[in-house]
Structures are given as structure tokens and as C-alpha cells.
Amino acid sequence: MSGNTSSAPSYACGVADQPLMFETIGNAFDRMVHTHPDRTAIVFRHQDIRWSYREFQAQVDACAAGLLALGLVPGDRVGIWAPNCAEWVITQYATAKAGLIQVNINPAYRPQELAYCLNKVGCKALITAPKFKTSDYIGIIDGLIPELASAEPGKLTSADFPVLEIVVRLGSEASPGFLNFDDVCNLVGDAERARLAELSNELQPDDPINIQFTSGTTGSPKGATLSHFNILNNAWLSGLGMGMSADDVLVCPLPLYHCAGMVVSSLTCVTMGATCVYPDEAFEPTSVLAAVAEEKATVLVGVPTMFLAQLDHPEFANTDVSSLRTGFIGGAPCPIELMKRILTDFHMAGVTIVYGMTETSPVSFQTALDDPTEKRVGTVGRVHPHVEARVVDDEGRTVPRGVQGEVLVRGYLVMPGYWEDTEKTAEAIDSAGWMHTGDLGVMDDEGYLNITGRAKDMLIRGGENIYPREVEEFLYTHPDIQEVQVFGIPDHKMGEEVCAWVQKRPGSDLTDEDIHTYCQGELSHFKIPRFIRFVDEYPMTVSGKIQKFAMRDVMINELGLEVEATA
């Protein structure tokens, strides 16, 4: 229980003054092109690309028709594995127009994670960057699919990937078995253009259009499947919540494979007719600050760690950020001192806090432009328009205002389900249509929600959702590890860091370094435990259940993290 309680139930329904858009993304996109043909649509500064809405539409339509020319049909899944780039966004809207389901693949994924995702949803095509940071994507794919070396491009037959037929690479270099992205876009013929026009009338707003993987407590990622209707409306309503219009210029340092980058940045700008600027292929504070100053940005988005990195950067004092007005902060709680700096030093008087999850398209709660600072720091705002929310106890009963419970959300934004996983879908969405977020929260008398913890065993590091079970199951494969428990501990920069308590097998001389080496190249970097402690036993309840909260408290005390824990 938290704060004063009242007899009013912890239920809220977001008031809306405009109806939802029952429209496909492709038709909404074309409508905005017709309205703002010469307005700048997207800017990719690291690729020296700046396209108007009309120019962007030409790129999208060429790609969409090219995908159809390859034999893809509505409902086929197309994976994209790349950092932020123009081709990513072209693919986003091209797949929507062609009725294909885009599958977002995390650029940090390692070979086994990529393989799992491709087969889980049956990708028929994969579009990939040649490399990203230290990862050689072409080399990884060649290693997973030896048949590519001798395959005719576009006609792959693979034993391990029975559905995959088409592999497309970005860039001008040729790779055996791969098509080039530009070549696909040049396959356009009259028949494909005619088919694309037909699809604008055939495709329906409730059709699935996007699959995003969220880590599962069982260790295997689940494919959250989202529709045109889900993400188009969420993007639009989130933009309205930030006070956006067609005159805005939004700078997006967030990764496109995340809902926050793809939906609440890219798609939000399209629904507004605004400009979306991508500073770099991945977050780098210098390039973001340069983009804000040189593009005269009015909107800036990110997770708290991104804002902190920019504010603490040596170039910040010399950067003109006075054009900024609004934006959003999400992915982790924003400390009050950081919020004060964002409001003053970044001139973002209208900055909002957003809360949600991939399964809810993603935003379900948002603070208002005129909310006081304490509401932007202590809460995640009030429920979005057209959305219901309630807080329930362990029996599923709605608790009074001021009482902690699990947060449930219902409405247009809830995903249809996890791809071909009725069991996991039923666990997440109950028979009345409520999405069980797994987050614990308290709703106050004004309807503001304070997230107080997580019912699910999950931690968030720098905006990345990490399920300890997935990391534990991998570490169990180490021959010298007898038992392992993974949990999150507070960190002022990343929000949380991964910590592992490990029991060695008798006689083992296993070290921290051995474990880190074992994880390299196998687990995504953000999942690798930063802190490792070797123990002989774990704190237990009387009934024998391991108490992770007790381990967390020990680490907080040992590392002197009491301030972070209460921030």
C-alpha cells in the first residue's frame, strides 16, 4: 500500500476529443504526401540523405513494388537486421504498403538469436546491413546458411531455414547468394505498380504489419505482433501528447528496431507531416547535439541515459539547443535532477514522460505538456486517449486508488497476440481483453500512475528489456557453473545493471573474466552480467524459494548504491 487510499477504484479511461483513425499505414502515408508533398520528410545525416515527402514516397513505392516483383505476397514476413539507416525506414513503409509483415531484428543479436527469430516467425526474406560496429552480418549469415554461397539470389533453399528464400544486403558490394537493396528497388514494372494500387484498397487496418521480439521469461523471445491500427493510432496520439504539428522537426537517436524509434518517432512524424531527423546509425551524443543545432530541432526524444550523455558532453555548452520545445523520455525512470536540467538547459518545457511496452504499441500512459515537474518525475502521467487502465490485486480485483497492484491496459493499442503462440498470448491478454503488463503501480486520485516495481522477473538496462531467466539458462551451459541467479541492481547511468550470483562446481577455479569471455559473441552485450559474485548459498524463504530481492539488497549495500536505489 502506498499513500492515502480512497474508495474510488484504480480504473481510468482516457478521454478523447478525436476519433481513432481506421486506416492502413500506407494510405495514411499517401494522404500525408498529398498534403505536404514538398515538406522535408526524413533526414539521415550520416548518409547525407534529405528527402521531401514526395521524394520519400518514390523510394517507398519502388521498394514495395520490388518486393512484390520478387514473389512476396501479403502476409509474408520480411526481416530487417540493420542499424538506423534510410533503407530501414524505406522498408518500414514499403512492407506496410505491400501488406508484408516487417520483422524487427535487434542489431546486437548474435547468430543463435538471429536464427531463432528467422525461424520462429518464418521469414521469407531478410534485409541486412553488411556490418554494424564489430559484427560482420554477412559473415554471420554465411556461417548460418552455407547454401547461400551457391544459391541463385532470391531463390535460396536452406535445410536450417526452410521458409527463407530471399536475402538482400545493403550497399553496392556483391555477396554470393545476396540481392542488393538498390537492385530490388529497380525491379519495378507496370504489373507491380498496378498491384500496389490494388493493395491500397484491399489491405485492412486490422491486418498484422509488424513483429517485434520481446525476451521471454522462458529464455526464448516472443514475437509481439502489431497491426496498422495499433501502431498508426499510437504514433499519432503520442505526437498529439507532445503537442506536435507539421511544423516540427524531431531528432531521433533511438534505434529503429525498437517501438520507440519505429513508432513514436518515425511513424509519429508521418502522422503529423513533420520532419524526422536521424543523426547517426546508433546513438552518439556529439552527432545528436549537432543535429539539434543544425536542423533547428523542436522535438528531441530518448531514454534518460541519452539525455544525460548529451548534457554532460563537453560540446553541450557550445551547442545551440534553444529551438527545442518538447519531446519524450521513456524506457526508465527520470531522476528529478536530470528532469530539471532537461527542462532548463534543453529548453524542453513541454517534455513528456511516456510509459508502455511493445505489446501495447507501445505508449499507454503519458504526462501532459503542462504537468508540474513532480508529476513528470514521480509518475508516468495519465492513461492515453481511447485507452482503459486499471490496477489489480493478486486475485484480479481492482484495488482502490493509492493501493499498489499490477497495471492492466485495454484498448485499440493491445497487440493481437504473440506470433503463433496462443499459450503465451493467453497468459498476457485475459478473456476480457486486458493486457497484463507485469508492472506494479499505484494510481492516485487524479489518475496519475506511479510505477513502483515489476511483477515479472525483468530488468531494464538503458532501455533494453532483459529477462534474467534467459541469461541464467545460457550461463547454465558453462561446465563449471552449478547454480546461477541473475537480477538487476540500480545504476545511475543505465537505470539498472545485470548482476549474477554464481555457485561454482566443486574444484572449479572459475573467474569473472572466464564468464565474461564465455558470454562474448553468444549473448547480446547488454545481457552480459557486469557484476559477478561467487557464493556458496543463496538467501531462501522458509519454503525454499530463492529471494532475489535479498541478493539485490546485499549488492546495493556492498557497492554503496543506496542513493541510486531510492532515486
Residues 493 and 532 in one domain: yes
pLDDT in tens, 403-429: 989 999 999 999 999 999 999 999 999
- What is the pLDDT, as a whole number, of residue 208? 98
In a domain, 427, yes or no: no
Residues 61 and 140 in one domain: yes
Tell me the CATH number at 540.
3.30.300.30
Cell digits for 327? 519531446
Residues 123 and 150 in one domain: yes
Q: Considering only 118-132, 157-171, 203-217, which range has the smallest mean pLDDT?
A: 203-217
In a domain, 372, yes or no: yes
What is the pLDDT confidence band of residue 450, given thresholds at 50, 70 and 90? very high
What is the pLDDT confidence band of residue 437, given thresholds at 50, 70 and 90? very high
pLDDT in tens, 282-318: 999 999 999 999 999 999 999 988 999 999 999 999 9
In a domain, 437, yes or no: yes
- Tell me, what amino acid is at 310? Q
| Cα angle for residues 372, 373, 377 (degrees, 5° grid) | 125
Residues 437 and 499 in one domain: no
In a domain, 290, yes or no: yes
In a domain, 27, yes or no: no
Nearest to 84 by CA among 272, 370, 288, 239: 288
Tell me the HSE value of 269 on the side-chain side, using a 13 A CA sphere: 31
Q: Considering only 12-26, 46-60, 287-301, 461-475, which range has the smallest mean pLDDT?
A: 461-475
Higher per-residue confidence, 286 vs 332: 286
Cell digits for 307? 539525455
Do 354 and 328 touch, CB atoms closer than 8 A?
yes
In a domain, 414, yes or no: no
Cell digits for 176? 554470393
- The Cα 289–Cα 297 span in angstroms is 10
Residues 100 and 187 in one domain: yes
**Cα 442 to chain center, whole Å?**
24
51 forms beta bridges with 42
Residues 216 and 243 in one domain: no
Residue whose C-alpha cell is 558490394:
173
Tell me the CATH number at 66.
3.40.50.980
Residue partners of 527: CB distance under 8 A and separation at least 6: 466, 470, 471, 498, 519
Residues 232 and 372 in one domain: yes
Do 161 and 118 touch, CB atoms closer than 8 A?
yes
What is the pLDDT confidence band of residue 93, given thresholds at 50, 70 and 90? very high
Residues 171 and 282 in one domain: no
Residue partners of 48: CB distance under 8 A and separation at least 6: none
Tell me the CATH number at 369.
3.40.50.12780
- Tell me, what amino acid is at 199? L
Last residue of one domain, picked from the residues 174, 197, 222: 222
In a domain, 145, yes or no: yes
DSSP percent split of the chain into helix, strand, coil, nearest 5: 35, 25, 40
Last residue of one domain, picked from the residues 154, 189, 222: 222
Q: What's the pTM? A: 0.86
Is the pLDDT assigned to residue 219 strictly greater than 70? Answer: no
Domain count, the chain: 3
Residues 339 and 372 in one domain: yes
- What is the pLDDT, as a whole number, of residue 2? 44
Residues 270 and 156 in one domain: no
- What is the pLDDT, as a whole number, of residue 14? 98
3 state DSSP class of 137? helix
pLDDT in tens, 33-52: 999 999 999 999 999 999 99
Residues 122 and 179 in one domain: yes
Q: Domain of 336?
A: 11-20+227-406+433-454
User: Mean pLDDT, to the nearest integer, of 42-70?
Assistant: 98
In a domain, 93, yes or no: yes
Last residue of one domain, picked from the residues 393, 420, 454: 454
pLDDT in tens, 145-196: 999 999 999 999 999 999 999 999 999 999 999 999 999 999 989 999 999 9
Residues 504 and 556 in one domain: yes
Nearest to 449 by CA among 6, 134, 7, 11: 11
